[in-house]
C-alpha cells in the first residue's frame, strides 16, 4: 500500500494544510493542486509583469516550514505549483533548501507550455500532461517534483505508477489511481466540504485534508488523518466523483477511466473503498487550456429599497446607459426584497451591472458615472462599492493537439533532461455505453424540495457547467432517473432552458450527471453570471420543489 495525501485544492487553499498533513500522521507522498483554468490566466498576467514569475508562490512559502518536515519524515512532494514556470519554482526551492541547510533533490517536468505553437491571441496555452514525466523524476530519486499543467489526478497517478512499477498499458490500475486522484484533488471537498448534507457532518469547522491509500491493482481507500475534522463517507466521496466531469468515459492523457464501473463501499469510520474501476486506451489528442485577453470589465451594484423596485431599476438603466452607452452593459435585478419587511436589508433588492469593453478608460468611467447618480436618481440611491479601474477580462477556450506533438521532458535532480515518450496506444474507445432506465412505479407523492432526498455537486469547465445529482437510497434511483430528464431540468432551472444539455446516467453511483453547455459564456473570468463558476447550481436545483414519492420521504 502507498499513502498519498493532498494539501491543496486550489491556489488560495488553507495555508497551514502542508504542515498539518505532514504532522498529522503517516504519508509516503504529499501532493498539492494549485492550478485551474482561471489560475493559468492569473499566472499569465503575473508572467507579463515579470518573466521570472508565473508559478504559485504560496507553495514556496509553505515550504519554509514544510520542506524540513517532509525530508525528516521521508515524505516526497509532488505539485503542479510550477504553473507557467516549473523550472523557476524548482530553482527557487533549491535556493530555499540551501538557505535552510536542507539536502533535497528537486526535479521538474516541462513540455506543457505550447504558447510557441501559435494559438491565436493566446496569453497562455498549456497542454494537460499525464503522469509519466512525474514517474521519471521519482524513479531518478527526486524528493520534490514540480510540474506545470498536468491533469490534477496525475499528481496521484505518478507516485502510484512509480511505486508499483505500472506500465503504459496497465489501464485498469491507471484508471483506479486516476479516480482516487480525482477524489482527493480538491482537498476538503472529499471530507465534507461543500457537501450537500453538510448539516449531518459532526465537525466541519476545520475539516482534514484527504488521503488515498492505493494498492498495486489501483484500488484505493479514501481516508484522512485521525482526529481531524470533517468526515469521509460514501456520499462525500460520491459528491467529489461527480464534480467537473462529463460522460462515463473520463478522458485523460494516460488512460480513459470508466466512471460507470466504480464501486464504493464504506469500510469503517472515515474509510471508503473505491474498487472495480476499468480503464481503456487514452485518446489520440490532449486538451490544451488556452487563455486570451479580451478587453476590460467593471461592476457596480445598486441597492433598491422599498417600493417601486422595477421603476427604480428602469431609471438607473436609462441614466447609466445615457452616460456611457448601452454597448457591453449586462444587467441583473436580484429581487431579494420582501414586502412589509422588518429590516432595511430585507426590504432591498440588488441591481447588478457589469460593463465589458475594449477601452480601459470607458471601464473606469462606467463606475464613476454610477457614483455620479447618487444624488440625482431614485429615492434611497446607494451603491455597495466605490468607483475603481476596470480589470482585464480573460477568455478561456479548449483546444486539442495530437499526443505525438507534445515534447514532454523530465528534468532530473542531476540536471539530465530525459524525453518522455507519448503513449504508444491511443484511440477512441469502441462501443456506446447504454444503461437501461430502471422501471419506476408511480405512487402517492408529496410536494417538497428536491434536496430532501437528492444530493448535488456542480462546477465549471470553461464556458460549460456540470451538475451531478445522486440519491443516497438505491430504492430512489428509479424515481430519480424517471423524474430528472433534460426537459425536466430545463423546467427546474429556467436559466438553462435554451441550452444544449447532455445527460449521463451513472446507475452504479445512483447518480446522473448533466453538462450544461454555454451556461458560463466565455468562462469564469469573463462570465457575468451571479455564480460565474456554477458552484451553487446544484444547491439551486436542490431547493426547487417537486413531487416526491411518499415512500422515499
The pLDDT value recorded for residue 300 is 96
Statement: residue 422 has pLDDT above 90: yes
Q: What is the CA radius of gyration of the chain?
A: 25
The three-state secondary structure class of 136 is helix
What is the C-alpha separation between 181 and 437, in angstroms, rounded? 30
What is the C-alpha separation between 188 and 240, in angstroms, rounded? 10
How is 395-450 classified by DSSP, letter by letter?
A: EEEEEEEEGGG--EEEE-TTS-EEEEPPPS---PPPS----PPPP-----EEEEEG
The three-state secondary structure class of 552 is coil
Cβ(221)–Cβ(211) below 8 Å? no
Statement: residue 120 has pLDDT above 90: no
Going by C-alpha positions, the residue among 16, 139, 138, 17 that lies closest to residue 78 is 138
- Give me the mean pLDDT over the 56-63 stretch: 97
Confidence band for 525, pLDDT divided at 50, 70 and 90: confident
Domains and CATH numbers, the chain: 2-289+399-420 (no CATH), 292-395 (3.30.70.2750), 445-549 (3.30.70)
Q: What is the pLDDT of residues 207-252, one digit of tens each?
A: 999 999 999 999 999 999 999 999 999 999 999 999 999 999 999 9
The pLDDT value recorded for residue 435 is 81
What is the C-alpha separation between 346 and 415, in angstroms, rounded? 63
- Give me the mean pLDDT over the 469-493 stretch: 97
Statement: residue 321 has pLDDT above 90: yes
The pLDDT value recorded for residue 184 is 98
Q: Is the dihedral of CA 202, 208, 213, 214 positive or negative?
A: positive
Going by C-alpha positions, the residue among 531, 515, 517 that lies closest to residue 468 is 515
The pLDDT value recorded for residue 293 is 92
Statement: residue 464 has pLDDT above 90: yes
Statement: residue 114 has pLDDT above 80: yes
What is the C-alpha separation between 18 and 70, in angstroms, rounded? 9
| Dihedral (Cα; 436, 442, 445, 449), 10-degree rounding | 10
Longest dimension (CA), the chain: 73
The pLDDT value recorded for residue 530 is 86
Beta-strand runs (E) in 38-171: 76-79, 106-110, 122-127, 144-146
- Give me the mean pLDDT over the 11-19 stretch: 97
CB atoms within 10 A of CB 414: 9
What is the C-alpha separation between 178 and 188, in angstroms, rounded? 18
Instruction: Please state, in angstroms and as integers, the Cα–Cα distance from residue 397 to each residue in 83, 96, 153, 438, following that order.
Output: 18, 36, 21, 37
Q: Is the dihedral of CA 331, 337, 339, 343 positive or negative?
A: negative
* % of the chain residues with pLDDT over 90: 92
Going by C-alpha positions, the residue among 379, 170, 141, 330 that lies closest to residue 257 is 170
How is 292-342 classified by DSSP, letter by letter?
A: EEEEEEEEEEEEEESS-HHHHHHHHHHHHHHHH-STTEEEEEE----TT-S
- Give me the mean pLDDT over the 380-388 stretch: 93
* % of the chain residues with pLDDT over 70: 100
What is the C-alpha separation between 155 and 182, in angstroms, rounded? 10
CB-based contacts of 202: which residues, under 8 Å, 6+ apart? Answer: 231
Going by C-alpha positions, the residue among 15, 28, 212 that lies closest to residue 138 is 28
Confidence band for 526, pLDDT divided at 50, 70 and 90: confident
pTM for this predicted structure: 0.95
496 burial type by CB count under 10 A (0-12 exposed, 13-18 middle, 19+ buried): buried
Scan for cell 477524489, then name that residue: 183
Q: What is the pLDDT of residues 26-47, one digit of tens each?
A: 999 999 999 998 899 999 999 9
- DSSP assignment, residue 152? T
Going by C-alpha positions, the residue among 418, 388, 376, 361 that lies closest to residue 140 is 418
CB atoms within 10 A of CB 129: 27
The pLDDT value recorded for residue 141 is 98
Amino acid at each position: 500500500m502507498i499513502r498519498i495525501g493532498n494539501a491543496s485544492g486550489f491556489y488560495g487553499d488553507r495555508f497551514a494544510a502542508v504542515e498539518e498533513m505532514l504532522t498529522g500522521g503517516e504519508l509516503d507522498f504529499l501532493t498539492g493542486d494549485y492550478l485551474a483554468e482561471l489560475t493559468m490566466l492569473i499566472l499569465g498576467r503575473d508572467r507579463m509583469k515579470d518573466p521570472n514569475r508565473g508559478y504559485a508562490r504560496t507553495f514556496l512559502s509553505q515550504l519554509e516550514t514544510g520542506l524540513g518536515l517532509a525530508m525528516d519524515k521521508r515524505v516526497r512532494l509532488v505539485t503542479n505549483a510550477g504553473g507557467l514556470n516549473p523550472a523557476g519554482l524548482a530553482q527557487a526551492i533549491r535556493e530555499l533548501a540551501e538557505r535552510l541547510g536542507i539536502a533535497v533533490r528537486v526535479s521538474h517536468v516541462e513540455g506543457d507550455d505550447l504558447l510557441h505553437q501559435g494559438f491565436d491571441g493566446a496569453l497562455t496555452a498549456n497542454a494537460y500532461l499525464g503522469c509519466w514525466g512525474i514517474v521519471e523524476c521519482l524513479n531518478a530519486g527526486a524528493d520534490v517534483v514540480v510540474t506545470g499543467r498536468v491533469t490534477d489526478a496525475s499528481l496521484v497517478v505518478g507516485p502510484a505508477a512509480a511505486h508499483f512499477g505500472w506500465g503504459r498499458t496497465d489501464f485498469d490500475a491507471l484508471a483506479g489511481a486516476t479516480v482516487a486522484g480525482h477524489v482527493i484533488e480538491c482537498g476538503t471537498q472529499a471530507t465534507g466540504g461543500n457537501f450537500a448534507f453538510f448539516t449531518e457532518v459532526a465537525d466541519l469547522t476545520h475539516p482534514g485534508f484527504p488521503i488515498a491509500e492505493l494498492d498495486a491493482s489501483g484500488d484505493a481507500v479514501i481516508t484522512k488523518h485521525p482526529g481531524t475534522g470533517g468526515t469521509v463517507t460514501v456520499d462525500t466521496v460520491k459528491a467529489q466523483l461527480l464534480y467537473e466531469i462529463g460522460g462515463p468515459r473520463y478522458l485523460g492523457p494516460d488512460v480513459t477511466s470508466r466512471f460507470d464501473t466504480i464501486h464504493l463501499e464504506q469500510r469503517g469510520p472515515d474509510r471508503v473503498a473505491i474498487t472495480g474501476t476499468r480503464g481503456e486506451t487514452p485518446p489520440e489528442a490532449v486538451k490544451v487550456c488556452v487563455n486570451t485577453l479580451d478587453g476590460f470589465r467593471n461592476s457596480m451594484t445598486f441597492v433598491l429599497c422599498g417600493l417601486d423596485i422595477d421603476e427604480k431599476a428602469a431609471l438607473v438603466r436609462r441614466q447609466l446607459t445615457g452616460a456611457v452607452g448601452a454597448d457591453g452593459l449586462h444587467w441583473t435585478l436580484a429581487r431579494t426584497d420582501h414586502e412589509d419587511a422588518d429590516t432595511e436589508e430585507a426590504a432591498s433588492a440588488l441591481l447588478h451591472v457589469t460593463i465589458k469593453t475594449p477601452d480601459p478608460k470607458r471601464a473606469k468611467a462606467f463606475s464613476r458615472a454610477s457614483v455620479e447618480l447618487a444624488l440625482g436618481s431614485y429615492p434611497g440611491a446607494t451603491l455597495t462599492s466605490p468607483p475603481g479601474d476596470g480589470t482585464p477580462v480573460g477568455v478561456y477556450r479548449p483546444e486539442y493537439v495530437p499526443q505525438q506533438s507534445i515534447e514532454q521532458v523530465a528534468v532530473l535532480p542531476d540536471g539530465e533532461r530525459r524525453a518522455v515518450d507519448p503513449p504508444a496506444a491511443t484511440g477512441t474507445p469502441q462501443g456506446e455505453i447504454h444503461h437501461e432506465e430502471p422501471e419506476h412505479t408511480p405512487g402517492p407523492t408529496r410536494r417538497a424540495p428536491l434536496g430532501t432526498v437528492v444530493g448535488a455537486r456542480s462546477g465549471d469547465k470553461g464556458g460549460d457547467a456540470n451538475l451531478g445529482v445522486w440519491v443516497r437510497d438505491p430504492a430512489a434511483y428509479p424515481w430519480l432517473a424517471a423524474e430528472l430528464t433534460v426537459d425536466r431540468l430545463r423546467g427546474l432551472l429556467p436559466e438553462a432552458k435554451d441550452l444544449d444539455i447532455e445527460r449521463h446516467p451513472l446507475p452504479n453511483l445512483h447518480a446522473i450527471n448533466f453538462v450544461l453547455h454555454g451556461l458560463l459564456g466565455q468562462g469564469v473570468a469573463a462570465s457575468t453570471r451571479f455564480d460565474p463558476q456554477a458552484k451553487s447550481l446544484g444547491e439551486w436545483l436542490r431547493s426547487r420543489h417537486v413531487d416526491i414519492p411518499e415512500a422515499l420521504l
